[in-house]
Structure 1
Amino acid sequence: MYGKNKVMLLKQDFQRVLFISHNAFSTTLNNGKTYSSFFEGWPKSKLAQLYFQNEKPNFNVCNNYFHITDEQVLMNKKKNIGKKIDETNFNNIQKTQSSVHSYVRKNPKAILTLIRDIVWGINRWKNRNLLEWLNEFKPEVIFFVGGGSLFSYKITKFIASYFNIPIVLYFTDDYLTIPSKTKTIEWLNSKRLNKYLKKFNKSVDKIFVIGDDMKMEYQNKFNKQCISVMNSVDTEKYNVIRLKSEINHGVEKSKIKIAYFGGIHLNRWKTISVLSQCIREIQKEGKHFDLDIYCVEKPAKEILEEIHHPPYSNFKGGVNEEHIISKMMEYDVLLHVESFDTNMIFKTRLSISTKIPEYLACSKPILGIGPSEISSIKYLKRETESFIINNIDKVTVLKVLNEIFNKKDELNLIGEVNYLLAHKNHDSYKEREKIKSGITSAVKQY
């Protein structure tokens, strides 16, 4: 009897959280994996998610979903927009990504973002389907992942006002800094979003951000305290997998295996292409490297031709979620890249890749390639034992490849140091406690 009451008491310590984001909770996709790590162990009866991509959600941390997609808003009658998803109708979702979103992702033009906001701004999503689902759950607080599309902020503000509940805001990328006025539409989109945020900010109680660089800027922007919460990992799980693995962690005398895991959008493929060329060139000196590229999305033919050059560099496709950790551990060095394009630097400068904590927890050295002003690269250089390339010219890349080859006997030791850092800075329990504390405080103070 005592044990049962203790469990009930623990559940009472958790608020009913409505999680709103573009991506669903996931065990494979980077954003969804981060969200899931924050709410692992949260009572499922007190967690629901509203999301906007046509993705298949995962039921590990949440079993109550509602999704509204671009296609629904464009083509369905108002009464048919929005759909509740649970484990009974999960298999009825055929696509894993909306075709509209796929096009926008491959063609990231500001005019498309504006058109999308205008279409959603008609408010056809505001119907009985959504309201019935919300009233059934009765949220006490909203955890909202802020993005670059104005419509999601308006939906969040409507729900917060409807239930008179606070908003906990989370930013993973910088969508708010207004770009150069030379790009008129992009400047207009940022201007519209920042103007609306002045109204939206009144309902925001707590702000979580991806790293310390963003924390400093956003505290001034919002005039509110920001809390840095990075992607977290179960370091003990990684260590168990590593100890159970039969993989030979020693580096081959004549070859170093490098792997990249993640998206190649935002022109990251261009950086990978230069590395691939340098790997081919350094073979002439008798220093052999293999580069394997793992990405869920198959790239366009012209991009594939730039990064897939067997046997030196190989596009491998996606990795099953059950095997991705052990797959990472097969390699000697793990690769993180950023784009050197001016526009992409602007978009990613305050972001810290969700993949970095996973790399560190694998007990592997990291090769980080990207501009020095991007937070991911700054973090790798400041906190970790990593090989860093801040200039994408071939002379610099070849120099660092030589450095890696000359230190091949030290790579395992470097990896051990990185694992300790993962445990210190990215342990999932510590990050979840920050989230829980912030949510509890927001509800009590509202």
Structure 2
Amino acid sequence: MGKKHRLMVLRALKECANSSAVFFTICERMRKEYKRVLGVDSEILFNRCSSLYDKKLSLCSDENDKIIFLYAGSLYYGREKALIELAKALKKINIENGEKGKGAVLHIYLNALPSDSFLHEIQELGTAKYLGKLDFKELKIKLNECNYPVFVESFEEKQMEKVQLSFSTKIPEYLSLEKTILAIGPDHIGSMDCLRNVAVCINSIEEIYAKVEHLLHYPEEFSNLGLKARQEYEKIMEIPGLEEYIVCE
């Protein structure tokens, strides 16, 4: 897109925002950036969802024969690189622990078939398993049964530009689980902003091993994050939804 075209789009967007009765954005980072660029404040509109928390299923996670990290989503925007690094970290930690403890594994559920190279790499590592696709009911069960839900954003420069003002619709669902979330991604991404104080956040590929090792060795240090996440979910659910802005005459 040329400079002239971008200026035309910006001008049209400013006019639209200024003439709107309500202007919506989807996260605090987007709200601040659009206010700076457009000169108009906005209302944040989150994905309002029913809680996925199931107490009975969630208690079962303590009985897992392995510590399960669970990623469900896509490999778009280079997320597979972060998942492979997580699998490598788990392998190293498992080897170092030897027979002590349960061992840890990464379960991966995707909505599209992964590449052969990705499948080959995780198979070689042995600490990550691609387990296919889940419908919503199945996903709810698996998320409750796992020990750590995993959220991932890309570290690739080109991809970060695309998602820096985004907010993943799965975040409120993960927050509702009352579990310690492992969030991997750059700290200046909108989705990571939201998780900053309610998840174990890893902001570079180089930090993955050290932070995951600490989490597995000292889980009690992070035990309050599940409750904090749930409180954040409840706070989001108190924010007016789109239906409350619609007036029918």
* Correspondence for 1:248: 60
Structure 2 residue aligned with 1:219, among 35, 43, 56? 35
CA contact (8 A) 2:17 2:40 kept: no
Q: Please list every run of 5 or more consecutive structure 1 residues that lacks an aligned counterpart in the other structure.
A: 1-184
Q: Does 1:353 align with 2:168?
A: yes
Q: Does 1:283 align with 2:94?
A: yes
Q: Does 1:388 align with 2:198?
A: no
Cα RMSD (Å): 2.8
Q: Distance in 2 between matches of 1:436 and 1:246?
A: 32
* Correspondence for 1:60: none
| Count of residue pairs the alignment pairs up | 245
Deviations 1:119-138 (A, max 9, x none): xxxxxxxxxxxxxxxxxxxx
TM-score by length of 1: 0.50
Summarize the alignment of residues 97-176 of structure 1 with structure 2, pairs less than 5 Å apart. none
Code of the residue aligned with 1:387 in structure 2: it is: V
| Cα offset, 1:247, TM superposition | 5.2
Deviations 1:312-360 (A, max 9, x none): 1011121112221121011111111111111111111122222221111
Summarize the alignment of residues 20-419 of structure 1 with structure 2, pairs less than 5 Å apart. 185=1, 190=6, 193-194=9-10, 196-198=12-14, 200-201=16-17, 204-235=20-51, 238-239=52-53, 242-245=54-57, 248-250=60-62, 255-286=66-97, 288-309=103-124, 311-382=126-197, 384=198, 386-393=199-206, 396-409=207-220, 413-419=224-230
CA contact (8 A) 1:371 1:390 kept: yes
Code of the residue aligned with 1:219 in structure 2: it is: K
Q: Which has the larger radius of gyration?
A: 1
| Cα offset, 1:212, TM superposition | 1.1
CA 1:423–1:397 in structure 2 vs 1: closer, same or farther (change >3 Å)? same
CA contact (8 A) 1:332 1:411 kept: no
| Cα offset, 1:196, TM superposition | 4.4
Secondary structure, aligned partner of 2:154:
coil
| Cα offset, 1:413, TM superposition | 4.7
| Cα offset, 1:418, TM superposition | 2.0
CA contact (8 A) 1:251 1:409 kept: no
Code of the residue aligned with 2:177 in structure 1: it is: C
Secondary structure, aligned partner of 1:350:
coil
| Cα offset, 1:186, TM superposition | 8.0
Q: Please list every run of 5 or more consecutive structure 2 residues that lacks an aligned counterpart in the other structure.
A: none
* Correspondence for 1:423: 234
Q: Which has the higher contact order (CA 8 A, sep 6+)?
A: 2
CA contact (8 A) 1:366 1:387 kept: yes
TM-score by length of 2: 0.85
| Cα offset, 1:211, TM superposition | 1.0
* Correspondence for 1:158: none
CA 1:373–1:414 in structure 2 vs 1: closer, same or farther (change >3 Å)? closer
Deviations 1:225-247 (A, max 9, x none): 30012222223xx34xx134385
CA 1:322–1:200 in structure 2 vs 1: closer, same or farther (change >3 Å)? same
CA 1:269–1:186 in structure 2 vs 1: closer, same or farther (change >3 Å)? farther
CA contact (8 A) 2:46 2:241 kept: no
Code of the residue aligned with 2:196 in structure 1: it is: K
CA contact (8 A) 1:251 1:408 kept: no
CA contact (8 A) 1:210 1:229 kept: yes
Q: Distance in 2 between matches of 1:262 and 1:193?
A: 32
Deviations 1:25-57 (A, max 9, x none): xxxxxxxxxxxxxxxxxxxxxxxxxxxxxxxxx
Q: Distance in 1 between matches of 2:137 and 2:2?
A: 39
Q: Distance in 2 between matches of 1:297 and 1:208?
A: 31
Q: Distance in 2 between matches of 1:312 and 1:248?
A: 21
Summarize the alignment of residues 7-18 of structure 1 with structure 2, pairs less than 5 Å apart. none
